[in-house]
Amino acid sequence: MRHGAVLLAAAVLALSCGGGTQTADTFASPKTSATSPRSPSPSPAAAQLTGSYGLILSAGALMLIRPDGSLAATVDVAPASTQFCSPQHDGLVAPPPVSASNSEVYFRDGDTKIRKLVLPGSAVDVTTVPAGPNMISFFSVSPDDQQIAVLVVDVTSSTALTMRLYVEDLRGGGHHVDLFNAQTAKDDRGWTLWPMGWHAGSLVLAMVKACSFNSSVVTPSEWHVSNATNGTRLTAIRASGCTLSNWPSMSGVACLDGQGATTRYDWSGKGVAVAAPGVQGAGFIQAGLSPAGNSVFFATGAGAGGPGPGTRIVTGGVPDAAAGHSACLFIDERTLLSPDAVITLAPVAVKPLAQSGVCAGRFPGGL
């Protein structure tokens, strides 16, 4: 079976990729870098986040990247203890342990602590989540900092993974509501749901493979919008002959087909438009939407025989390109984040990061 580390202790975490060989950020196990991130540039004395940032995990640290590519803040993040689905070290596929509200950035430090980043590079404890020798929790904080959604995954059984999803007050744990409990097979059929954000008071969840038995690259097979009070599914966006976005946007997600054409879905599940990168057969592996939905990016990766890393961006039907860097998400309407650079639009300009890593989201994080 294929060896893979949790996307956290790695995809979540300590990662690093070379600038010219970086692939589009996917939910896969990254490689650890021994290089430490540089010190953040000076920030205002007031410890309050304003503006927009890309979030990167690299070499055991969470970094906040400004749209100009400079480092606004960095804080150490400890990996989780549970990293494998089985004694054979089949990787437990996990999202980055990071969640941004509309005013704060939170991260899971180690197994149980949910902490809030404080500028320019410290953190304070906020709450805790369940964990154990064979248990790990993923989370998402609501845009207003009032609630936290937590998915708890238990891998103790040799044949199945057990999951439970709940929502409670971020501070104090009150108003606790269990949304669902489920089991999934501990094989290629196994799946899990990651809390990846909130839209209009509802939870946005990515449905993904639970374990990396045969692949180190995992993308969502579905995106769900579910009621945060009773768990009722309100919207389901399913991949049908296409690859869904790894990262959600305020405007929704995209689904990239084999020819590069991308259907754009809003959070009601409606396919609102189809966009194309302007070239055919270019090996695109990922697509994503800008917050307002005015732009779409198409990323290529560094696979054998492929075109190498790069990004095409289409805005208002007009294509542009950035060679050598595969975008993962939009920081804002005219700035893209890749694991090793920031890409600005109109005109396109690339600003390499001092330390590359794995994409961990954006601030502000409301959908």
Q: What is the pLDDT of residues 273-285, one digit of tens each?
A: 898 888 866 789 9
What's the average model confidence in pLDDT over 160-179? 97
How close are the terminal C-alpha atoms of the chain, in Å? 37
The rounded distance, in Å, linking the Cα atoms of 19 and 339 is 8
Instruction: Evaluate if residue 15 carries a pLDDT over 60.
Output: no
CA 191 to chain centre: 17
Instruction: Evaluate if residue 7 carries a pLDDT over 60.
Output: no
The rounded distance, in Å, linking the Cα atoms of 227 and 277 is 35
pLDDT of residue 302: 66
Instruction: Please compute, for residue 101, the number of CA atoms within 13 A of its CA located in the half-sphere on the CB side.
Output: 20
The rounded distance, in Å, linking the Cα atoms of 357 and 14 is 7
The rounded distance, in Å, linking the Cα atoms of 211 and 167 is 24
| Total-model pTM | 0.89
pLDDT of residue 47: 59
pLDDT band at 164 (very low <50, low <70, confident <90, very high): very high
What's the average model confidence in pLDDT over 83-102? 89
pLDDT of residue 45: 46
* Highest mean pLDDT out of 1-5, 23-27, 188-192: 188-192
Instruction: Please compute, for residue 153, the number of CA atoms within 13 A of its CA located in the half-sphere on the CB side.
Output: 31
What's the average model confidence in pLDDT over 140-164? 96
Q: What is the pLDDT of residues 216-260, one digit of tens each?
A: 678 999 999 999 999 999 999 999 999 999 999 999 999 999 888
The rounded distance, in Å, linking the Cα atoms of 289 and 317 is 14
Which residues lie below 8 Å from residue 274, measured CB to CB, with a gap of 6+? Answer: 261, 262, 263, 264
If one looks up domain 19-363 in CATH, what number appears?
A: 2.130.10
pLDDT band at 116 (very low <50, low <70, confident <90, very high): very high
pLDDT of residue 26: 56
Instruction: Evaluate if residue 42 carries a pLDDT over 60.
Output: no
The rounded distance, in Å, linking the Cα atoms of 100 and 281 is 36
pLDDT of residue 63: 97
pLDDT of residue 114: 98
The rounded distance, in Å, linking the Cα atoms of 2 and 10 is 16
- Please, what is the average pLDDT of the chain? 86
What's the average model confidence in pLDDT over 25-41? 42
Query: Phi and psi for 142 in degrees, rounded to 5?
Result: -65, 155
